[in-house]
A and B are shown apart, each in its own frame.
Chain A
Amino acid sequence: MSVIKGQWVQIRRIILSAGERAPSVPEDTKEVPLELRVKGFLLEEKSEVGEMVTVETASGRKVSGRLEAVEPAHKHNFGDYIPELSEAGNELTRWLTGGDNDER
């Protein structure tokens, strides 16, 4: 996917490679690099996802890394219907509107 100068993108770069991790980290963490993701405005005239680029972040810093996403959306949400939780909520509402002599 092509991106042009000034578009809002996310880049990713390695801060510490697997071999450079702090001595104190657990084994499963040591096996993977410490990575940074940051968003900013693309400074190159034209780039493709996957290429090395430089961005200007919201605070005005210039950071380089591999272009990972273009105009990324916030996709976290309210979650699915959780029957166990909904059931518990309904029991409480029944207690509230049905008097004190309910379940213990």
Chain B
Amino acid sequence: MKDRSYEAVMARRKEIMKATVGVDYDRYELDGVAFDYERLMKDTSYPIASIRRIQSETGVGNTPLIELKNITRLVRSMSKSGYGARIFLKDEATNPSGSFKDRRASISVSRAKELGYKGVIAATSGNYGAAVASQSMKRALKCIVVQECYDSRGKGQPEILEKARACEAYGAEVAQLTVGPELFYYFLLLLEETGYFNASLYTPYAIAGIESLGYEIVEQSNTLIGRNPDYVLATHAGGGNLTGTARGLIKAGADQTKVIGVSVDLSGLHMASNRDFNRKSFTTGHTGFGIPFAVLPDRSDVPRNAARALRYMDRYLLVTQGEVFYVTEMLARLEGLQRGPAGNTSLTAAIALARELPEDKTIVVQETEYTGAGKLPSAQLTFARDNGIEIVRGDPIKMDSPGKRIAIPESYSQIAYKEVNMDDLRRSYIKQLMKQGVTLIDSDFEFLSEELKIPVTKVRELVKEVSDDVDSEK
């Protein structure tokens, strides 16, 4: 019998991955720090027409694009004359399990079936669990979802408990763990024990599945307004949502559309802390994933992460928990759409951004998610209060304090965003590389130019700055 100790299992991670993902990542490694991202995507995934065909087999995609006319009118009521961009919302909650995650799951699960696996396993506390469970049943596969769900007192995050309920409703097994990154260790043990397919969020299939979302936005936008959207806003966590959507936009010819990532600001809370775990009201779409995954994408559960946000992100905006709850209420009250709070993260930034843009510009918010018990502002705020968080009406920019206070705006005019400096993110990315002790070779600069969406000369500049910085720290 194999050694099941933490160290032994982690040491076997590469062979376990290779057997359970169906991708030989080594084939795409290049000299230096680089790998051939586009070839990995091309070889191991599907063209967009096949993606759409696979998704149509299980009822995924073709979600409506809805103009938020009342919210746009509200934005214009507080903008200077001639300002207030039109806001459109891609209603991804209408997918089978209630979120865009069905797009990712549909391709992963279809692949698992094609390769002859008996079941799939996904490590996720989010909507992806329900998506994988739902798609697995459509393809007659067994399914296990591994969640980080409870703190050491056995108190579960309501949103995660709801997702567990959904997974069970589809007939999946839900393995619920307490806080800690060693979830990955248990996940590897399960893969080894069952021989199931690793339906990772970060394989080329999972990312390619989202390309159809970007593609549909371009098609629908052309039908509705006769041209491509000016801005697409995507909630950013692990990077897959933004990466896949942006790739789809480009494939549909919208290469001038600006792609903006948005996260909930949870700075100050430690994601692996047992104490902090239940002091947050968002379990995804926040900076605790957004920043680490942007600057070190290969931290994921596969050797090379296909979600690489900095390749596609033009700007990165942050909003507060209280603002997203307020906007969730607004979406229900002004547009008659009750949708889950985390999915409204990028809508929140869209409202602030629309004020700064002329009336003839268009913004597409590319997702919504289902709502229900545990997944409502009232459920989350009740839970927050029970965990000692103060809830007030007030200016979120001044009053918000993650883990201590949630400020519900006193007026819609208080909805604003904080902008993250993209070059700071790029410097962090380079610093993460430097910390691994690598020496960059010439071809690496080309790779980094693609990874960071900047010219080679700019890469050289940033690398020099970071090296000087790292040297002075020594």
Contacts and interface: CB of A to CB of B under 8 A. Distances in A.
Interface string B175-187: 1111111100110
Contact of A84 (B142, B174, B373, B393): B393
Contact of B392 (A79, A80, A84, A93): A84
Interface string A1-28: 0000000000000011000111011101
Given A32-B178, A89-B329, A96-B333, A81 B186 contact: no
B165 A74 contact: yes
B162 to A, nearest CB: 6
Given A28-B274, A38-B176, A80 B182 contact: no
A95 B74 contact: yes
Contacts of B152: 32-33, 35
Contact of A59 (B143, B154, B391): B143
Contact of B171 (A58, A78, A87): A58
Contacts of B393: 84, 87-88
A104 B78 contact: yes
A50 B297 CA distance: 42
Given A26-B270, A37-B176, A61-B193, A92 B382 contact: no
A79 B376 contact: yes
Contacts of B270: 26
Interface stretch (B406-414, B435-443, B452-460): B406-414
B377 to A, nearest CB: 6
Interface residues of A, number: 46
A76 B180 contact: no
A55 B338 CA distance: 39
B432 interface: no
B377 A82 contact: yes
B408 A84 contact: yes
B275 interface: yes
A76 B378 contact: no
A80 B382 contact: yes
Nearest to B330: A92
Most buried by A among B182, B330, B373: B182
B265 to A, nearest CB: 19
Contacts of B392: 84
Contacts of A22: 6, 180-182, 185
Nearest to B148: A34
A20 B5 CA distance: 9
B182 A78 contact: no
Contacts of A29: 179-180, 272-274
Given A22-B180, A59-B144, A78 B6 contact: no
Contact of A37 (B143, B150, B180, B373): B150
Contact of A36 (B186, B332, B383): B186
A59 B382 contact: no
Contact of B273 (A15, A26, A33): A26
Given A16-B182, A34-B182, 15 more contacts: A26-B272, A29-B272, A32-B178, A34-B180, A36-B186, A38-B175, A59-B173, A61-B144, A76-B373, A79-B383, A81-B378, A84-B391, A84-B392, A84-B408, A85-B326
The 4 A-B residue pairs with the shortest CB-CB distance in the complex, in nearest-first order = A79-B382, A79-B378, A79-B379, A32-B152
20 contacts: A15-B177, A21-B182, A22-B6, A26-B273, A32-B274, A33-B152, A34-B186, A38-B173, A39-B173, A40-B173, A58-B168, A61-B193, A76-B158, A79-B158, A82-B382, A85-B326, A88-B326, A92-B329, A104-B77, A104-B413
Interface of B: 6, 70, 73-74, 77-78, 119, 142-144, 149-150, 152, 154, 156, 158, 161-162, 165, 168, 171-182, 185-186, 193-194, 270, 272-275, 325-326, 329-330, 332-334, 373-374, 376-383, 385, 391-393, 408-409, 411-413
Interface of A: 15-16, 20-22, 24-26, 28-29, 31-40, 57-61, 74, 76-82, 84-85, 87-89, 91-93, 95-96, 100, 103-104
